[in-house]
Amino acid sequence: MLPAETALALEAEARASAVTRLEEDALIRTAQAGSREAFEELVRRYDQDVLRLALQITRRPEDAHDLYQEAFLKVYRNLDRFRFECSFYTWLYRVVTNVCLDHLRRRSSRPEDQAPEPADAAGGAAEDFFDRQAHPAPHSNPERSLLGKELGARISAAMERLSPRERLVFEMKHFQGLRLRAIGEMLGTTEETVKNSLFRATRKLRTSLEGYR
Amino acid sequence: MSWTGDNSQEGRRQDAGATTSPAACAEFERRLTLYVWQELEPAERAAVERHVAGCAGCAAAVARERALLEQLSTLEPAEPAELFVAQCRRSLARRLDRADASARFWSRLRELSRPAGWLTARPVWTVAALVLFGFLAGRYFAPGGAPEISSEVSGPEAGAGDSTAPASFLNSSITGVQRLPGGTVAVRMTREQPVVVQGSPEDSAIRGALLAALQGSGTPDPDARIESVDLLRGSRSDAAVRSALCQAALRDPNPSVRLKAVEALHGLESEADVRQTLLEALEHDANPGVRVEAISALRSFLETAPGEDWTRDDAVVRVLRDRAHKDPNEFVRLQSGAAMRQISSRDVQ
């Protein structure tokens, strides 16, 4: 049995989460009724996560910008199809991951349109990109960043060798910290399939980075 | 052990010694990866830990997996900058406006086509309607069959070639009909006709039209309003233009237009009405991109105009303090705080 304080804290947390969910449901219904303000509020709640994933996947701000537009326009046009059967976040990510997968598939079929190689020692396009578009994470350590630059370049190159689905699962797990079950729901597949994708992605990355250290 | 990336069953078997069988290690290969990613159920996790405790090869494999994860962590996640987020939101708002306009157009078209649908569903009525239409058209357009229309058309379009054609009256609003002596009739009407004004942006007619786009009912097309703001920027020293830009910055329903207007006001902060507009936008605008632009303009003014006493205005200090504490956007909070510090240091001097 849980101690009384823990039980109370859990109950309070559950209640707060239920209230947030109710608020969000009301917001979604308002947006479904045609309110642009409500839709834009929903965008503001989630778009930084979406943009982070898009930047991570594309490594090009122009492409990330396009994916962002395409994903949210799809959400806007299909909002009336959202039936509250899952969380809005999951539904939104279903759309976003589809857009990202399409992008990765297009890119893998056009070798000339690959993401820029990460910056070399002299600093290249990728460095400009991160300098311009991304704040360093608050916990970042400049010395560690410098030491890891070469490794980062190798990891980025290795990630380009993953299949679109493996890449997406890896990004969502590693950088977004999502559980595989949630990723499965978002991708419209089973947890088992996602586990296989992560396993294969890890194996490929291990092989690509073999002998580096 | 140096890391070689060898996670094969063979590698593990060599290290495993006699404590575990190769079959057991093979069974754990996939689970070791998921174990390190913390994606196993508690029971599976316990089973892996039990196995690893007695299997040197699998313990080494776990260590290699952890080393790989550590390596992967050196690649820092991309964090979108505030300005980039604001830019994406702005573009999205513009695309949504276009999507709304397109949806409205199709909805209107559907409404217009509704009678056709009704006729299709009732073939007998459709045939009757077509016969009636043919009869009336024949009566109307057949030589000598159409009603006579006076050739005397007064007003600005008098003498225009096709202005008296029956179809040209469809978009007219009839404001009066009068019988005249001699059996003729006078019909008074007003017509809405598209007019194109062409000229340099400095021309008074063009400027008037651009100002009209921003004021009152203006134009429903936000892209046209954005374009108007952009073109008026060249004449912003004109008080009427400045006032229209201030109004657009505060009242336009579209955040992209408001943002463009705030941008256009940048550099005119020495004008009291512009400062007031920027402060109001900073305080009340729901769009973070607009607030970012407003505080940026105010900050650059503070830097370039030392000695301005407007900063001693209680309202200015109140707004900046409020935004520094409460604005949901980090950039706005930081910039407002910096502006406050700038004002305080000036007061101390």
pLDDT for A182 equals 93
Residue A123 reports pLDDT greater than 50: no
Name chain B contacts of A61, Cβ cutoff 8 Å.
84
Q: For the segment A155-165, what is each residue's pLDDT rounded down to a tens digit?
A: 888 888 899 99
Report residue B337 as tokens.
């705080």
Average confidence (pLDDT) over A85-102:
93
Question: How distant is the Cα of B67 from the closest Cα of chain A, in angstroms?
Answer: 10
A112 three-state secondary structure? helix
pLDDT for A172 equals 93
Name chain B contacts of A212, Cβ cutoff 8 Å.
71
A134 three-state secondary structure? strand
**B34 interfacial to chain A (CB closer than 8 Å):** yes
Residue A113 reports pLDDT greater than 60: no
Q: Do B76 and A145 touch (CB under 8 A)?
A: yes
∠ CA A192-A194-A200, nearest 5°, is 105
Burial of B62 (0-12, 13-18, 19+ CB in 10 A): buried
Could you tell me which residue, B167 or A100, shows the higher pLDDT? A100
Cβ atoms B62, B34 nearer than 8 A: no
Question: How distant is the Cα of B167 from the closest Cα of chain A, in angstroms?
Answer: 37
Name chain B contacts of A69, Cβ cutoff 8 Å.
88, 91-92, 95
- pTM value is 0.50
DSSP A92: H
Q: Do A133 and B78 touch (CB under 8 A)?
A: yes
A38 three-state secondary structure? helix
Q: For the segment A28-62, what is each residue's pLDDT rounded down to a tens digit?
A: 999 999 999 999 999 999 999 999 999 988 888 99
Question: How distant is the Cα of A111 from the closest Cα of chain B, in angstroms?
Answer: 23
> Among residues 80-119 of chain A, which lie with CB inside 8 Å of chain B?
none
Question: How distant is the Cα of B192 from the closest Cα of chain A, in angstroms?
Answer: 31
**A69 interfacial to chain B (CB closer than 8 Å):** yes
pLDDT for B19 equals 47
In the predicted model, residues of chain B with pLDDT beneath 50 are 1-19, 144-151, 156-161
Q: Provide the 10 A C-beta neighbour count for residue B84.
A: 20
User: If DSSP states are collapsed to H, E and C, what string results for chain B?
Assistant: CCCCCCCCHHHHHHHHCCCCCHHHHHHHHHHHHHHHCCCCCHHHHHHHHHHHHCCHHHHHHHHHHHHHHHHHCCCCCCCECHHHHHHHHHHHHHHHHHHHHHHHHHHHHHHHHHHHHHHHHCHHHHHHHHHHHHHHHHHHHCCCCCCCCCCCCCCCCCCCCCCCCHHHHCCEEEEEEEECCCCCEEEEEEECCCCCCCCCCCCHHHHHHHHHHHCCCCCCCHHHHHHHHHHHHHHCCCHHHHHHHHHHHHHCCCHHHHHHHHHHHCCCCCCHHHHHHHHHHHHHCCCHHHHHHHHHHHHHHHHHCCCCHHHHCHHHHHHHHHHHHHCCCHHHHHHHHHHHHHHHHHHHC
Average confidence (pLDDT) over A7-22:
70
Query: Which of B84, B87, B292 should be substituted to probe chain A, the one whose Cβ sees the most A Cβ atoms within 10 Å?
Result: B84
Cα distances (Å, whole numbers) of residue B164 to A179, B130, B144:
73, 26, 17
- C-alpha count within 13 angstroms, C-beta hemisphere, residue A192: 0
Nearest CA in chain A to B97: A36
DSSP A121: T
pLDDT for B7 equals 47
Q: Do A40 and B93 touch (CB under 8 A)?
A: yes
What interface predicted TM-score (ipTM) does this complex get?
0.77
Walk me through the domains of chain A, giving residue ranges and CATH numbers. 21-115 (1.10.1740.10), 149-213 (1.10.10.10)
Phi, psi of B191, deg, nearest 5: -125, 145
Nearest CA in chain B to A180: B39
Nearest CA in chain A to B331: A135
CA B5 to chain centre: 49
pLDDT for B202 equals 81
CA distance B5 to A213: 10
Name chain A contacts of B100, Cβ cutoff 8 Å.
36
Q: Provide the 10 A C-beta neighbour count for residue B17.
A: 11
